[in-house]
């Protein structure tokens, strides 16, 4: 999954011949599961039609401050458009538009939206080589970058004039790759490796039966997804779960038993920067596993159990540079039990759930947590979706690691 997945991208198109390439650009963003809206300068419609772009983006294309529909005039709010976007890309950006942007000229909807935008703004120049080399253009480029706008450099190649040189707009795929790389380079977990455990473990009784619990893995998978979106390389060790994750930064390792999860966690832990153990690992397993299915003979069945290995405590014993976070699902004396676990297992923090809280616990789409660090500082959060909870957890970890 791309870092652009789920993002809102505003594409501004100006009146250059390279505007014909924006159809491919919109398609690429849509294929990456981004939402796209398009603003065109009036003159850019001579190079590509709004109908093409609205069809590809599945959104209306805006060009003027208002649209006429029969007797009604519909206002296109440039402020709303600017606030809507996660990223604003102006491509192609002509010499005229670059100059207007640099000097605050506001004579069309695109420029008004640019001046209102609060998100990162990327721009991809496109013009003939003499225009690109002109001192006024160079001054515009420098000025725009001083405003924290991000230049996607023009390339060399054959130009519309027939000349060959610098000024050609970067190709659509290269523009998308540039934006992805730029976003990733600025993510707070870029270069970090994160280990996450998720889901239940199943401890075999015989070939068809097991001891397990109701954990769905939703919380752990949500943390994995958010960590990957923050730039981390994620190792997700999952017990049996129906949850799915598609992200190029996530390596999924499937296990069944507590023993298998223990082995996998220790395999990766030494190279990890952050470990978040969200799995609901079985505390006990059958001491003897039957080779054949146990037949129902008596009214009762007795079974001897033995403890499973404590994965969290074992990692606490060997941790060096790692930031180790555990989970505690409690039903009584919640805060005291969680703090005790921090000390006993040498944790940097713990995430506390209480089964007393409605909407928290297993197999729900929501959770309510208290984050407690090793100094016993507590921060409680309201009931939220598990994705939002995952963001809160990682925000707290990042604050503690600074």
Going by C-beta distance under 8 Å and a sequence separation of 6 or more, which residues neighbour residue 262? Answer: 308, 309, 311, 314
Q: Which of 114, 131, 132 lies closest to 123, judged by CA?
A: 114
Q: Residue 92, preceding bond cis, omega within 30 degrees? A: yes
Going by C-beta distance under 8 Å and a sequence separation of 6 or more, which residues neighbour residue 296? Answer: none
d(CA 272, CA 192): 8
Q: Which of 59, 213, 337, 346 is catalytic?
A: 213
365 is an active site residue = no
Compute CA distances 320 → 194, 272, 373, 374, whole Å. 15, 10, 17, 15
| C-beta neighbour count of 104 within 10 angstroms | 9
CA 48 to the chain's CA centroid: 33
Query: b/e for 338-351, b at 16 or more Cβ within 10 A?
Result: bbebbeebbbbbbb
User: Hey, what are 337's tokens?
Assistant: 């039990």
For helices 95-103 and 135-146, give the axis angle rounded to 10 degrees: 50
Q: Which of 308, 212, 328 lies closest to 265, judged by CA?
A: 308
User: Hey, what are 202's tokens?
Assistant: 């199943």
* Continuous segment of H or E residues that includes residue 182: helix 172-185
Q: Which residues are catalytic?
A: 213
């Amino acid at each position: 999954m791309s870092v652009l997945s789920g993002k809102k991208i505003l594409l501004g198109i100006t009146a250059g011949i390279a505007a014909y390439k924006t159809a491919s650009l919109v398609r690429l963003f849509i294929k990456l599961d981004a939402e796209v809206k398009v603003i065109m300068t009036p003159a850019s419609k001579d190079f590509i039609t709004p109908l093409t772009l609205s069809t590809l983006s599945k959104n209306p294309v805006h060009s003027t401050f208002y649209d006429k529909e029969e007797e009604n005039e519909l206002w296109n709010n440039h402020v709303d458009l600017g606030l809507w976007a996660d990223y604003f890309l102006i491509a192609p950006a002509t010499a005229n538009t670059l100059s207007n942007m640099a000097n605050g000229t506001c004579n069309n909807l695109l420029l008004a939206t640019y001046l209102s935008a609060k998100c990162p703004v990327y721009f991809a120049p496109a013009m003939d080589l003499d225009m690109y080399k002109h001192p006024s253009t160079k001054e515009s480029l420098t000025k725009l970058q001083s405003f924290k706008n991000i230049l996607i450099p023009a390339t060399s190649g054959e130009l519309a004039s027939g000349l060959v040189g610098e000024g050609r707009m970067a190709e659509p795929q290269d523009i998308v790759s540039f934006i992805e790389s730029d976003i990733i380079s600025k993510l707070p977990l870029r270069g970090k490796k994160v280990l996450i455990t998720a889901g239940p473990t199943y401890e075999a009784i015989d070939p068809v039966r097991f001891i397990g619990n109701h954990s769905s893995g939703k919380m752990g998978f949500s943390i994995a997804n958010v960590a990957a979106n923050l730039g981390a390389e994620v190792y997700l060790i999952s017990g049996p779960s129906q949850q799915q994750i598609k992200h190029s930064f996530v390596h999924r390792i499937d296990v069944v038993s507590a023993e298998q999860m223990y082995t996998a966690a220790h395999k990766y832990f030494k190279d990890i920067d952050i470990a978040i153990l969200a799995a609901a690992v079985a505390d006990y397993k059958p001491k003897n596993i039957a080779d054949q299915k146990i037949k129902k003979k008596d009214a009762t069945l007795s079974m001897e159990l033995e403890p499973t290995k404590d994965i969290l405590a074992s990692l606490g014993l060997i941790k060096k540079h790692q930031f180790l976070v555990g989970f505690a699902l409690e039903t009584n004396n919640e805060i005291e039990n969680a703090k005790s676990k921090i000390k006993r297992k040498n944790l940097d923090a713990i995430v506390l759930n209480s089964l007393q809280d409605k909407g928290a616990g297993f197999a729900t789409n929501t959770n309510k947590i208290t984050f407690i660090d090793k100094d016993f500082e507590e921060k409680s959060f309201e009931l939220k979706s598990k994705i939002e909870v995952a963001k809160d957890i990682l925000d707290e970890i990042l604050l503690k690691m600074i």
